[in-house]
Amino acid sequence: MTPEILISEVGPRDGLQNCKSIMATKDKIAWIEAEVRAGVREIEVGSFVPAKLLPQLADTADLVRHARTIEGLTVAVLVPNLHGVKAAVEAGAHKMSLPLSVSETHSLKNLRRSHQQVLAEIGEIQAFLADIPADRRPHFEVSLSTVFGCTMEGVVPESKILSLTEKLVDLDIKDIGLSDTTGYANPAQVKRMIRAVRSVAGADRVTGIHLHNTRGLGIANALAAYEEGITTFDASLGGLGGCPFAPGASGNIVTEDLAFMFEAMGVNTGINVAELIKVREILARALPDETLYGFTPDAGLPKGFDCVAA
């Protein structure tokens, strides 16, 4: 039975980049391997940003090279620019994701670049990728970040979001993701935004969403996205990387809770939830100072619960 949806584990990137402690490469490898054994098929293992900015992710190239040897795993990374794309291609990543912040203030603060500059860079990336033989060319996604609101600009006008989407379509970006960077989204807005972006880009290009659980609406937002036909969901084991500005809130949506929701609904994720919960032991040992979140792991699986594919 083929899984209907893809849960993409982003803990080794989004989770760890928000952690104070640095996780040893060997522990990251044990974590990645254990998740694959539990049925996870895609993992964002790191980010090709300068090591001095994010020392937690300085081993990304090594992780990509190792993860590539794991059968059945799609190895994903975040790339901030062409330089990162070149490093990702050299290491052998299968999938790369570049954030385009729809809030220009956020874009200038985070990447120190205007929309025009980021779009120009995306054009250069497309040209670079076009020269790579198709069978070795990684999949390239541009993720519209702060699409549900920005801590600096507040709600970004939909017209702005749609004109950026149009430019991505013009640049022949085949995969456009939606990202709730700030944890501002609500389920009604998630549905509206998916429809709006698809009205410009077409449904085929808009299949993935990246959600945070900052205000406790992460799982509700994921369900809303699923009902709109979204098939790829980012999540982080143990909701790692809780936001320092929202005490008690996990970072990304919790992979264990998300997998449990879908499996309990009869939606095949390919993941064995009981096995997935056990992977937390690796995190707890390697990062003793970090809080691990998740309702399902705390409460335990319901009596008689079985995964769809079990």
Task: Tell me if 255 sits within 8 A of 7, measured CB to CB.
Answer: yes
Residues 89, 130: Cα–Cα separation, whole Å: 12
- The distance of closest approach from Cβ of residue 215 to Zn ion in the complex, given in angstroms and rounded to an integer, is 14
Return the number of the residue (242 or 270) whose C-beta is nearest Zn ion. 242
What are residue 59's phi and psi, to 5 degrees?
-95, 20
- The distance of closest approach from Cβ of residue 184 to Zn ion in the complex, given in angstroms and rounded to an integer, is 12
Binding-site size for Zn ion (CB under 5 A) equals 1
Return the number of the residue (14 or 256) whose C-beta is nearest Zn ion. 14
243 belongs to the catalytic site: yes
Return the number of the residue (29 or 240) whose C-beta is nearest Zn ion. 240
Which region, judged by CB under 5 A, interacts with Zn ion, from 10-18, 28-36, 59-67, 280-288? 10-18
By CB under 5 A, is residue 9 in contact with Zn ion? no
Return the number of the residue (89 or 258) whose C-beta is nearest Zn ion. 258
- The distance of closest approach from Cβ of residue 272 to Zn ion in the complex, given in angstroms and rounded to an integer, is 25
Residues 136, 91: Cα–Cα separation, whole Å: 12
Task: Tell me if 168 sits within 8 A of 122, measured CB to CB.
Answer: yes
Which region, judged by CB under 5 A, interacts with Zn ion, from 9-17, 52-60, 65-73, 79-87? 9-17
Q: How far is CA 121 from CA 125, 128, 163, 215, 237, in A?
A: 6, 10, 17, 33, 32
| Interface positions, 87-146, toward Zn ion (CB under 5 A) | none
Q: Which two tokens stand for residue 199?
A: 């009205």
Q: Which two tokens stand for residue 106?
A: 């956020």
Q: Among 14, 256, 263, 290, which residue sits at the site for Zn ion (rule: CB under 5 A)?
A: 14
Q: Which two tokens stand for residue 221?
A: 């937002």
User: If DSSP codes are grouped into helix, strand and coil, which group holds residue 178?
Assistant: strand
- The distance of closest approach from Cβ of residue 137 to Zn ion in the complex, given in angstroms and rounded to an integer, is 25
Give DSSP secondary structure letters for 87-134: HHHHHT-SEEEEEEESSHHHHHHHTS--HHHHHHHHHHHHHHHHTS-G
Which region, judged by CB under 5 A, interacts with Zn ion, from 14-22, 168-176, 187-195, 255-263? 14-22
- The distance of closest approach from Cβ of residue 305 to Zn ion in the complex, given in angstroms and rounded to an integer, is 29
Residues 268, 51: Cα–Cα separation, whole Å: 38
Return the number of the residue (10 or 261) whose C-beta is nearest Zn ion. 10
- The distance of closest approach from Cβ of residue 300 to Zn ion in the complex, given in angstroms and rounded to an integer, is 28
> Active site residue: 19, 150, 243, 307, which one?
243
Return the number of the residue (178 or 201) whose C-beta is nearest Zn ion. 178
Q: Which two tokens stand for residue 227?
A: 């009902």
Nearest residue relative to Zn ion (C-beta): 14
Nearest one of 96, 22, 21, 17 to 64, comparing CA atoms: 96
Task: Tell me if 45 sits within 8 A of 10, measured CB to CB.
Answer: no
Q: Which residues are catalytic?
A: 243
| Residues near Zn ion (CB under 5 A) | 14
